[in-house]
Amino acid sequence: MLGLTKRDTALFAIVVAMVVFAPFILNPFPAASPMAQFNAGYPDLMQRFLIFGIFAIGFNILFGLTGYLSFGHAAFLGTGSYAGVWMFKLLSMNVLPAIVIAVVVAGLFSVLIGYISLRRSGIYFSILTLAFAQMSYALAYSVLTPITNGETGLQLSLNDPRILDGAAAADGSLPVPNFFGIEMRSSTELYFGGWEFTLNAGYYLCAVFMIAAFYVSIRIFRSPFGMMLRAVKSNQQRMNYTGLNSRPYTLAAFVISGMFAGLAGGLLVAMDPLAGAERMQWTRSGEVVLMTILGGMGTLIGPVLGAGLIKYLENILSKINDSILHQWFSLFPDGLSDFLVFIVHPFIGKGWNLTLGLVFMLVVIFLPGGLVQGGQKIAALFRRRKPDQPVSVKHPAE
């Protein structure tokens, strides 16, 4: 089906079902429940799950298949964002042209950076990509202020030409992104008992691109091209000795990966038409590396799981404060309650990165194959495998 094997079709169907029903799956607790703060089924967070899932899928095509570790992929995310906002300003508030131009511009930019960076490998390649990303950040922040609007960020204005739509909405306000008339912020609320579910137009547009990106990733992994990329990762020097030139393959992987990042950047501004230089910072590049490793480098669904975990921790744990902790531990005596709040406090709110760091350490130490390997070990237990039986993570969750 769709050119996929039976196993890949099953995995693809699972991903499609998870994406389509995410507004229900991510809201397990009633709205009035104290546990409702752990629900993640609101549009902004669900959109970020998908957008950064796309970003991580593209990065995994480069890092997971070829082994080339790029610390500069945020440059393509930011470039796509700027291109998308400029399309909104000059042409139309329809998100489709903005997304297309974001992918194209990011792809062209990745050709330039990839052509130079891929002349080196290993740590030298990583340093080159990091240098290009920081140069891009510096250019966007200060030098190219007429194009990027510097530290303020590029945003819409009533003075923009928007030659297809007009500068303003009917009521004189700034227009909003839409998909052939369907506003990205439009939502429908569903109520079932104490549960509240939000179906958002912007989320389902991201869902379409996410499903398409995942399908393309499967086809690349299973193609002869994907096998050549694995050969590069296995032993590039030996591959070159056979007479095969590996550079066109690695450059193609780099450009495809950059275009995925541009798609993510275009979707970010489609949901919120604002682009800032902070999207090009090295921390954003490091984030997608963490997503890929946490989920499972070289697997298909791993980067999506890693992106979801990081964005969940970032948005849910950061909202928990001391007053919420006191409510949780109110059933304990006052002294013990205060002590527990003191212990947990560094790991929530602004300290959510500490929790992420601990999770990353545990995964790297005990699950070097990422969350995918953890899922495989749990599945092995259900299949009554011996606990000490090794679980292969070579290609299983691809």
The predicted pLDDT at position 239 comes to: 87
pLDDT, mean of residues 164-171: 76
Q: Which amino acid is at 377?
A: K
How many other CB atoms are found less than 10 A from the CB of residue 234?
11
Nearest partner of 59 among 245, 354, 306, 323, judged by Cα: 306
In a domain, 397, yes or no: no
Which pTM does this prediction carry? 0.93
In a domain, 273, yes or no: yes
State the CATH number of the domain containing residue 89.
1.10.3470
In a domain, 389, yes or no: no
What confidence category does residue 384 fall into, taking pLDDT thresholds of 50, 70 and 90? Answer: low
The predicted pLDDT at position 397 comes to: 46
The predicted pLDDT at position 96 comes to: 96
pLDDT of 20 above 90: yes
In a domain, 25, yes or no: yes
Structure tokens at 22: 């995410």
Q: Which residues of 150-172 are buried (b: 16+ CB within 10 A; e: fewer)?
A: beebbbbeeebebeebebeeeee
In a domain, 170, yes or no: yes
Measured distance CA(86)–CA(102) in Å, rounded: 10
Containing H/E element for 150? none
Measured distance CA(19)–CA(375) in Å, rounded: 19
Distant-in-sequence, close-in-space partners of 389: CB < 8 Å, separation ≥ 6: 380
Enclosing domain of residue 26: 6-282
- Please state the domain count of the chain: 1
Measured distance CA(256)–CA(309) in Å, rounded: 24
pLDDT of 392 above 70: no
In a domain, 68, yes or no: yes
Least confident interval from 83-97, 164-178, 263-277: 164-178
Radius of gyration (Cα) for the chain, nearest Å?
22
Length reported for the chain: 398
In a domain, 290, yes or no: no
In a domain, 335, yes or no: no
